[in-house]
Amino acid sequence: MKQLTSKIYMICCLWAMSQLAFGQSVQFEPVHTKSPFVASSESTMAFADVNGDQAPDLLISTYNGEDCAIKLYTNDGKGNYQNVTRLPFEKLSRSSVAFADVNGDQAPDLLLSGFHAKSFQGITKLYLNNGKGGFAEQKEASLQGVDFGAIAFADVDNDGDQDIFLSGVDAQLKTVARLYINNGKGNFQEAIISVQGLARGAATFADVDGDQLPDLLLTGINAEYVPTAQLYKNRGNGQFTLLKNTPFAGVQGSAAAFADVDNDQDLDVLITGLNKLKQATTILYQNDGLGNFERVENTPFQGTSDGALAFADIDGDRDVDVLITGFDQQQRKIATLYQNQGNGQFTLLKNMPFAGAGLGSIGFADIDNDNDLDVMITGANNNAKPTTQLYKNGNGFNTASLKKPQVAFDQLKVYPVPSLGKVTIEATGFAGTYQLVDLNGQKIAEGKINAVGKTPIALQQRNRVYMLRVTREDGQVFTYKLINK
């Protein structure tokens, strides 16, 4: 059932929250017990609860220079994994995997693509989950095969089901991009799109402008072998328009991930890869809330290519940290963890136990149900040996005496955001005042909040971002980000 709900972009925290540091230590330990996991070199992986027991299971697809393998491991809920035999999955190299419930039965289904040695071309397969971790190929899904590709699920038409996007090289060695629309029952029909196919890159969806539609960031090399990075705005009904004059540097051998790194309730993006000058890069781009991005200078990130990156709150302080693997400029394999200070400023954590890995994957999950995020890293190490290493997180967020910022979710609602000229503050037993300022700090309006009703606020200029500062009677300040479209 289609449901459109206004996404409220709120920073319900102290105005000085961006300066707050919780000081939680970071502790990861490699698991040295005999591992059931296949050693992985050129690999991809994903966690998903395939059998419905509320524990994250693990799929790994890998090529180790001689053999391809695809393995599924079920978790007993305590972080112990067991290999599942007799899988129907194709064994592929240069593979990509993604889980999503495509037919509405609450079980994660599997999308798999990569190079198939027997047919000597890229293939793409969809496997349906029976809810107990048993999979069968959806043979009716006629999906474009791709090599050197990227795949992603997203509800591009906002109808409540997961559609399929893929990009890569077809059997004729042409770059292609394809979009398949889901009818809600796991049956797909190809949609005509104006998206340039890229290879050796990443495809990532995120709602960058707050219109409730997932936009598309695509990186990789184009048909002329030029490193490229393109952002496509979702116009609805599966139609995408290329945005021009974006600041993104073209990259290949790339990885990309969206996250709200600065806690302003919009999605920023981090991109790694080789640029046109063959330089390994890792660049953070900050979003202004309207989908306009700006490159962040002087970050601590080490330039990286042919690896992986993943955001996760590894220390329980309610902001996203980031782990990056791959090759540096000197072709050394690295694995670096950066801790977010709460305002989008990152610090490299030294003396972490992670072994460098290239051409692999990263996956975060609470594998042992202790309320913190553990991590799996795959890829070739600096001795060119395939590795699959699990690291357990020792923080235990459930025991942490973390200081929770005071919020006003239960007393205030601010809507709609984005708006079309007017927002409303709806209060329930909240006594205080408001002040509306622009991003330069200039005061636009101020007044008293109706403690048991609605307070309307006019936003005069279109395509602007405002900050609404709400001060409670006790002096506590809360900040909301408002977007006028």
Average pLDDT, the chain: 90
* 22 pLDDT more than 70: no
CA distance 465 to 148: 39
Query: Binning pLDDT at 50, 70 and 90, where does residue 339 land?
Result: very high
* 404 pLDDT more than 80: no
380-402 average pLDDT score:
80
Specify the 3-state DSSP secondary structure of 246. coil
Q: Tell me: the pLDDT tens digits for 267-322? A: 999 999 999 999 999 999 999 999 999 999 999 999 999 999 999 999 999 899 99
CA distance 166 to 197: 9
Q: What residues have CB less than 8 Å from 197, skipping those under 6 apart?
A: 167, 168, 169, 174, 175, 176, 177, 222, 223
Q: Tell me: the pLDDT tens digits for 441-475? A: 788 899 999 888 889 998 888 778 888 888 888 88
Q: Tell me: the pLDDT tens digits for 117-143? A: 999 999 999 999 999 999 999 999 999
Residue 24, pLDDT score: 56
Residue 7, pLDDT score: 35
Neighbours of 419 (CB within 10 A): 20
Classify residue 329 as exposed, middle or buried by CB count within 10 Å of its CB (0-12, 13-18, 19+). Answer: middle
The CA angle 352-356-357, to the nearest 5 degrees, is: 140
* 29 pLDDT more than 50: yes
Query: Binning pLDDT at 50, 70 and 90, where does residue 6 land?
Result: very low
Residue 460, pLDDT score: 80
379-397: burial string, b at 16+ Cβ within 10 Å, e else: bbbeeeebbbbbbbbebeb
Query: Binning pLDDT at 50, 70 and 90, where does residue 9 land?
Result: very low
Provide, rounded to the nearest whole percent, the portion of the chain with pLDDT above 90: 73
Q: Strands 293-295 and 305-312: what pairing?
A: unpaired
* 115 pLDDT more than 90: yes
Q: What is the pTM of this model?
A: 0.83
Of residues 102 and 412, which shows the higher confidence score? Answer: 102
Asked if 360 and 306 touch (Cβ cutoff 8 Å), the reply is no
Q: Tell me: the pLDDT tens digits for 31-82? A: 988 889 999 999 999 999 999 999 999 999 999 888 899 999 999 999 999 9
* 100 pLDDT more than 60: yes
Provide, rounded to the nearest whole percent, the portion of the chain with pLDDT above 70: 92
Residue 482, pLDDT score: 84
Residue 397, pLDDT score: 53
Asked if 362 and 308 touch (Cβ cutoff 8 Å), the reply is yes
Q: What residues have CB less than 8 Å from 389, skipping those under 6 apart?
A: 30, 31, 35, 354, 355, 376, 377, 378
How far apart, in Å, do the first and last CA atoms of the chain sit?
27
Among 158, 171, 163, CA closest to 193: 163
Residue 244, pLDDT score: 96
Residue 291, pLDDT score: 95
Residue 230, pLDDT score: 98
Sequential DSSP letters for 335-395: EEEEEE-SSS-EEEPPS--PPP-BS--EEEE-TTSSSS-EEEEEEE-TTS-EEEEEEEE--
231-236 average pLDDT score:
96
CA distance 312 to 310: 7
